[in-house]
Structure 1
Amino acid sequence: MDWVSFGTGVMSTIFLLAIWPENKDLDEVEEVVGQEEDLEINDSSARHVILSCQTCRKLKKHKELSQNLYQCVKCKRHVDLRAS
């Protein structure tokens, strides 16, 4: 076996071990997020929901300003889902 092939194998193994996820806490976080697919809570004061934005014409994150009143994070357009 050539030294070049051996060195390439060692470097490939080190690279794969470096990018392999070893943190088990991340798996627990993914399970919690997986239960609520369209709801992401970053802190206690703001709630983010993925809604269709009429200005962006795509599904974007919206920040809840008050109950059932959301604001697009990108274009800042308000979406009012309150009963009229």
Structure 2
Amino acid sequence: MDLISFSTGLLSAVFAYALFSQKENDEIEEVEEELEEDDLVINDESTDRHVTMSCQTCRKLKKHKEVKPNLYQCCKCKRHVDLRAS
């Protein structure tokens, strides 16, 4: 019975490690890809300005789309960031 419990615990720990280590690597690669790209992205339909900024809701570096001059919207959570002069 001890051998079965030990092997089950060992397999669970290996699975958890593989699951969480892969997720962290994906997030690091995603941020690196965003930082390597230019701040301006040209689409076929129209020209939208995308800027990589820190999102307060996501608490990570995410792309923000410029809705109006100096008014940005997070592409993931849709939160608005207003950088206009008040």
| TM-score, structure 1 normalization | 0.52
| Residue 41 of structure 1, CA deviation | 1.6
Is 1:69 matched up with 2:71?
yes
Instruction: Provide the C-alpha distance between the structure 2 equivalents of 1:61 and 1:79, rounded to a whole number of angstroms.
Output: 12
Question: How many pairs were matched up?
Answer: 49
Matches within 5 A, 1:4-15: none
Could you tell me how far apart the structure 1 residues matched to 2:38 and 2:76 are? 17
Secondary structure in structure 1 of the residue aligned to 2:47:
coil
More helix by share: 2
Q: Give the counterpart of 1:79 among 75, 78, 81.
A: 81
In structure 2, C-alpha distance between the alignment counterparts of 1:81 and 1:61, rounded to whole Å: 15
- Which runs of no fewer than 5 residues in structure 1 stay unpaired? 1-33
* Residue equivalent to 2:49: 47
CA-CA distance at 1:45 after TM superposition:
2.8
Identity of paired residues, percent? 71
Letter in 2 for 1:39: D
Task: Tell whether the 8 Å contact from 1:51 to 1:62 is kept in structure 2 after alignment.
Answer: yes
| TM-score normalized with structure 2 length | 0.51
Specify the structure having the higher radius of gyration (Cα). 1
- The gaps in structure 2 that reach 5 residues or longer are 1-35
Answer yes or no: is the 8 Å Cα contact 1:42–1:48 preserved in 2: no
RMSD of aligned Cα (Å): 1.7
